Amino acid sequence: MARLQRRLAEFAEARGWGPYHTPKNLAVALSVEAAELVEIFQWLTPEQSERVMEKPDTAHRVADEVADVLAYLLQFCEVLGVDVLDALAAKIERNELRFPVPGGPGSDRHSSE
């Protein structure tokens, strides 16, 4: 992950884009790329959406947008000093406490407690 972040940073530096890679701009770019991913699925039925990767042209578009979303997320985290994998692990742990397995220990707690 760190190697990809470094590669993205070097790519941006070589093009003089550093001044534009502020947290605000990267968050906006991330949102735009996520919207472009959503656009692919906008009018599909649930069944059609499950088969998007069967068509090479659509599969390529999905993969490109996923890559764009991840690239901007990694750049955003790099600029703010967020370790994306640590953040994800911490969030999963909090969600495991908030949403226990039905019938398991702690399942009698409500998520708002």
Tens of pLDDT, residue by residue over 13-71, are: 999 999 999 999 999 999 999 999 999 999 999 999 999 999 999 999 999 999 999 99
Given a contact cutoff of 8 angstroms between Cβ atoms, the answer to whether 14 and 20 are in contact is no
The DSSP output letter for 109 is S
**Per-state percent for the chain, helix, strand, coil, to nearest 5:** 75, 0, 25
- pLDDT for residue 61: 97
For the record, the structure tokens of 31 come out as 């949102």
Residue among 42, 43, 41 at smallest CA distance from 53: 41
How many angstroms separate the CA atoms of 29 and 7, rounded? 18
Q: 101: which residues sit within 8 A by CB, 6+ positions away?
A: 107
Per-residue pLDDT of 77-86, as tens digits, reads 999 999 999 9
Is the pTM value of this prediction over 0.75?
yes
Given a contact cutoff of 8 angstroms between Cβ atoms, the answer to whether 75 and 21 are in contact is yes
